[in-house]
Structure 1
Amino acid sequence: MEHKIAILGASGYTGAELVRLIATHPKMRIVALSGDRKAGMAMAEVFPFLRHLDLPQLQKIEDIDFSRVDLAFCALPHATSQEVIARLPRDLKVVDLSADFRLRDPADYETWYGKPHAAPDLQAEAVYGLTEFYRAEIRSARLVAGTGCNAAAGQYAIRPLIEAGVIDLDDILIDLKAGVSGAGRSLKENLLHAELSEGTHPYSAGGKHRHLGEFDQEFSRAAGRPVRVQFTPHLTPMNRGILANVYVKGDPRAVHKALFDRYLTETFLEVLPFGALPSTRDIRGSNFVHVGVIGDRIPGRAMVVVALDNLCKGSSGQAMQNANLMLGLDEATGLMLAPLFP
């Protein structure tokens, strides 16, 4: 059976990544693409690297016939998805890549995003899309909320350690480096090549980054009590990739074993031998996650390092993994692409 797919917001980075992935998917076919500011244009004009594909023209969302769509990916800007999804047919399966449905509590959403949620009934319905931890719920979901890319990297390092009880929950530090594509495709002065290259800098530091809302929600839920972490992201002059250095208090060997045991049967997560550390160059363009653990010179402390591709496993690849589950397919279908190297 072939499943008909719509991508809303196909003219952005995550939309284009979805097209790239679905192009080789044996059970999905793209029947509609939206890009309101580029409506009427061919995808080949917007993204010449997709010129070889036979794709529908971009159109406005209101012009799409959703009666012929089985599942829609919503790759729209934050604070836009909630109103758009509220107008879609209620029987349509949706995977949202924005931040609009990640936080379960409407009060938390207002705290972190500065405005009331426009579709609280849908917010209550949404399933959090960290696939390896919500697989059963995602299979039966109608609406899945994709994780933040930074939030996914931090959770892959920490959630198994909380569940195994091998770290001090009050002593967790996440120091993260992120590629510039995570900031989206819109024109911003600080993202110009001359402003960004040959340097790196922290942003949203001091507890201001919105992904802290996801960390608070998910870590506290896993622990059964409030957990607050320190988190500082840095913008790095690379196109793709996230490297998260996570510092914890716990026995390094026990930390490594907890991660190895938890991810042993997971297709896309690989825990490296103790002492080996990952690199973003080894997962670029793929849905794979590499996890490494080393000890510190201070006894009883460990560093966990996670590398993933922010556009793939951090966003569009994970969205497709979730869509596969929602459509009754093997979750790895269309996602076994090897990383790009060099």
Structure 2
Amino acid sequence: MLHLRVICPAEHTDDVLGVLAAEPGATHVVVLRGAAIDPAGDVVQADVAREAANEVIDALEALDIQHTGAITLGPVETVLSTAARKAEKAAPGDPADSVVWEELVSRTREESTLNGTFLAFLTIACLLASVGVVTDSPITIVGAMVVGPEFGPLAALAVALARRKPGLARRSLFALLLGFPFAMAATLVATLVMERIGWMALDSLDAQDQVDYIYKVGPLSLVVAVLAGAAGMLALVSAKSAALVGVFISVTTVPAAGFAVVAVTVGEWRIAALSALQLGINMVGIVVAGVLVLALRLRAGNGADRLLAEARKDRVHQVRRLR
């Protein structure tokens, strides 16, 4: 279940209540007349089945509530209510398979923001990757994969393409196109400094047989990226955060960036180019897979919407008979 809170002008309260009354997946409706101060108006609260959330939000946005008031939505961890169980049963589909699009857009927008925290994590991840390359340590490479925050903007870009959100797409591309060069430049400087003071000593990459898979581009590189991207998007839309760790470890985005930097410092330009190509292939594969997963979810959701529309009509008829 999701908890819905609506702040609306008093003249729209009856319309909001009408939306909730017509929705079989909505229950626990509460009205607080004149309770809102900023923005001023009434407060309407309800618990909504996850499967019905998109339709409720669309109906409220059609009333322009997002501009005249506010719409907030959040998860409810525990609900002990027969009415809630009936509402969930009335909403077709399974909660785990339901994608609340506004929730997904909001979450990915936050994770795709280019800020100091994003740059810090990406730079640390690239530094770890460069150390892993120099020391020929797969464990350190795995650590760099886990620390890297790049899946956020990649997922946001997939959502933007699937939902046609140009603003979100620009935000994501901005984070990726500025974040990676910044992190790689910082890693290059740090690597040169560590070589200068004797902390790192590497003349060639011929002996790095434990981590050389990072720059070896092949068909399986794209396969792994697509599978990881699909798993990552499924984990994101179903809130299965534990699965995201496996996604991070599967894809060599940050390690490829770190390998490219180390290759540049030793003059291995071919390997640097292959590492950059690996980075690009992985990012494209993740985004394409994410778009495909969302497209399939959207198609499945359209079928559920038809069932929900029929249930909503029955609910409207019941409400009218009661009146």
TM-score bracket, shorter-length normalisation: under 0.3
Tell me which of the two structures has the higher relative contact order, counting C-alpha pairs closer than 8 angstroms and 6 or more residues apart.
Answer: 2
TM-score by length of 2: 0.26
**Structure ranking higher in helix proportion:** 2
Find the structure with the greater CA-based Rg. Answer: 2
**Structure ranking higher in strand proportion:** 1
